[in-house]
């Protein structure tokens, strides 16, 4: 990012992703068999590279443009992530039913490509100097490792719902297929509406970030335990309760996800990393990598558990990721606060000064 520039990476990533989306809509013309499967993987992989480039650059540009309000800006950005989650399935389903397989992908790809020249004109160009801070030096910081676990756990929990929740709703509540997307609205709307408020709170009161991270992880774990609910509770699942838990999950995910980026940046500054676009690129790349890793592990493990144990137990076990990250982060912050208070009470040199005074008195 520092060598080719954030603006170029963002625009190029959008172009590659838009082309990849259009190509994916053309794959039904390919003969079935190994060729079709191979091209599916290839096109999706290319699309993923473009998406990663655009996302990494976008986080860096936002953090560079609004250095004092990073969490607020990211929270506002998540409104549109929520809108995408809300509008994507119904619009895609409508286009698919009305015009066939190709049209949803071609339409979306063309919208992305139209935005390429718009962003070329609008986005500012930031010059950056490569810094000495390395990716491994950043990720090996204990606090950053724990925050990476938080990102991974949130993404895994969210990804778990993609392949499993719709099947559970259809089977348990006997809803028509068209109404399944409305149930997803509870999570998407609560996440998108609460994110700006949580971002503003995180920026105005930075000391609250640690409490948001810990309480968000524990609340997410509790919600996933109640989503089924877990069989040990002996509670019959009701549709209203299911939607309510989804609303709470959306809010708790925002509590943990929004403060993570500024918290990693703050930790990097504390450990001697140079401020600038180079560090922002490292942090945003790390964030995207951990989120994508969770987005892979969540559906994979969740789908396996759902098949073997059922949705109720699978969701309870999946919430273990959030419980682990919440507890680990809480223990770390308590240990850090204890260490700082003890160092303030006994600053270095006190013992030497005390022994020197005692010697002179003698």
CA distance 24 to 39: 9
Give pLDDT tens digits for 171-189: 888 877 667 777 878 888 8
Token pair in block for residue 310: 């059922």
CA distance 341 to 321: 30
Report angle CA 120, 126, 130 to the nearest 5 degrees: 130
In whole angstroms, how large is the CA radius of gyration of the chain? 24
**Domain 133-344 of CATH type 1.20.1250.20:** yes
* Nearest C-alpha neighbor of 181 from the set 194, 195, 193, 169: 169
User: So what's the pLDDT on residue 98?
Assistant: 85
CA distance 362 to 360: 5
Sign of CA dihedral 239, 245, 248, 250: negative
3-state secondary structure of 31: coil
User: So what's the pLDDT on residue 105?
Assistant: 92
* Residue 69, phi then psi, degrees to nearest 5: -135, 45
Q: How is 123-184 classified by DSSP, letter by letter? A: S--------S--HHHHHTSHHHHHHHHHHHHHHHHHHHHHHHHHHHHHHHH---HHHHHHHH
User: So what's the pLDDT on residue 131?
Assistant: 62
- Side-chain half-sphere CA neighbours of 121 within 13 A: 4
Q: Domain boundaries in the chain?
A: 1-69+87-120, 133-344
User: So what's the pLDDT on residue 215?
Assistant: 92
Omega before residue 45 within 30° of 0, cis? no
Q: Assess contact for 324 and 157: CB atoms under 8 A.
A: no
CA distances from 293 to 9, 41, 103 (A): 21, 17, 30
Sign of CA dihedral 30, 36, 40, 43: negative
Report angle CA 62, 65, 69 to the nearest 5 degrees: 75
CB under 8 Å to 128, separation ≥6 — which residues? Answer: 1, 2, 5, 6, 276, 277, 278, 281
User: How many DSSP H helices and E strands does the chain contain?
Assistant: 12, 0
CA distance 90 to 83: 11
pLDDT along the chain (362 residues), means of 10: 85 95 91 91 93 88 84 83 76 83 91 93 76 76 91 90 84 76 81 87 86 92 90 85 91 89 87 80 86 90 89 90 92 87 68 49 46
CA distance 331 to 142: 12
CA distance 1 to 9: 7
Token pair in block for residue 154: 């949130």
- Side-chain half-sphere CA neighbours of 354 within 13 A: 6
User: So what's the pLDDT on residue 328?
Assistant: 92
């Amino acid at each position: 990012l520092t060598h080719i520039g954030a603006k170029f990476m963002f625009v190029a990533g959008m172009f590659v992703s838009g082309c990849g989306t259009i190509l994916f809509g053309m794959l039904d013309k390919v003969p079935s068999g190994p060729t079709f499967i191979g091209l599916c993987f290839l096109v999706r992989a290319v699309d993923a590279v473009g998406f990663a480039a655009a996302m990494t650059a976008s986080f860096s540009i936002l953090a560079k443009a609004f250095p004092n309000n990073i969490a607020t800006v990211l929270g506002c950005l998540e409104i549109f992530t929520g809108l995408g989650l809300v509008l994507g399935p119904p619009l895609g389903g409508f286009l698919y039913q009305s015009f066939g397989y190709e049209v949803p992908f071609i339409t979306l790809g063309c919208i992305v490509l139209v935005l390429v020249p718009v962003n070329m004109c609008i986005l500012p160009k930031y010059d950056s100097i490569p810094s000495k801070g390395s990716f491994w030096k950043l990720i090996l910081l204990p606090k950053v490792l724990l925050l990476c676990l938080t990102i991974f756990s949130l993404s895994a929990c969210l990804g778990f719902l993609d392949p499993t929740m719709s099947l559970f709703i259809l089977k348990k509540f006997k809803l028509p297929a068209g109404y399944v997307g409305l149930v997803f609205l509870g999570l998407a709307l609560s996440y998108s509406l609460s994110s700006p408020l949580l971002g503003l709170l995180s920026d105005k009161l930075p000391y609250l970030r640690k409490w948001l991270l810990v309480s968000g992880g524990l609340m997410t774990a509790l919600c996933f335990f109640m989503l089924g609910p877990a069989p040990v509770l002996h509670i019959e699942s009701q549709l209203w309760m299911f939607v309510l838990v989804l609303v709470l999950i959306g809010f708790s995910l925002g509590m943990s996800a929004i403060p993570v980026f500024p918290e990693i940046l703050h930790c990097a500054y504390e450990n001697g990393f140079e401020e600038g676009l180079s560090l922002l690129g490292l942090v945003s790349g790390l964030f995207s990598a951990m989120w994508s890793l969770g987005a892979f592990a969540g559906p994979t493990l969740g789908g396996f558990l759902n098949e073997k144990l059922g949705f109720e137990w699978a969701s309870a076990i999946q919430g273990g990721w959030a419980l682990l990250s919440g507890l680990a982060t809480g223990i770390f912050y308590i240990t850090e606060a204890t260490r700082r208070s003890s160092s303030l009470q006994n600053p270095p040199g006190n013992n030497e000064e005390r022994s020197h005074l005692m010697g002179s008195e003698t």
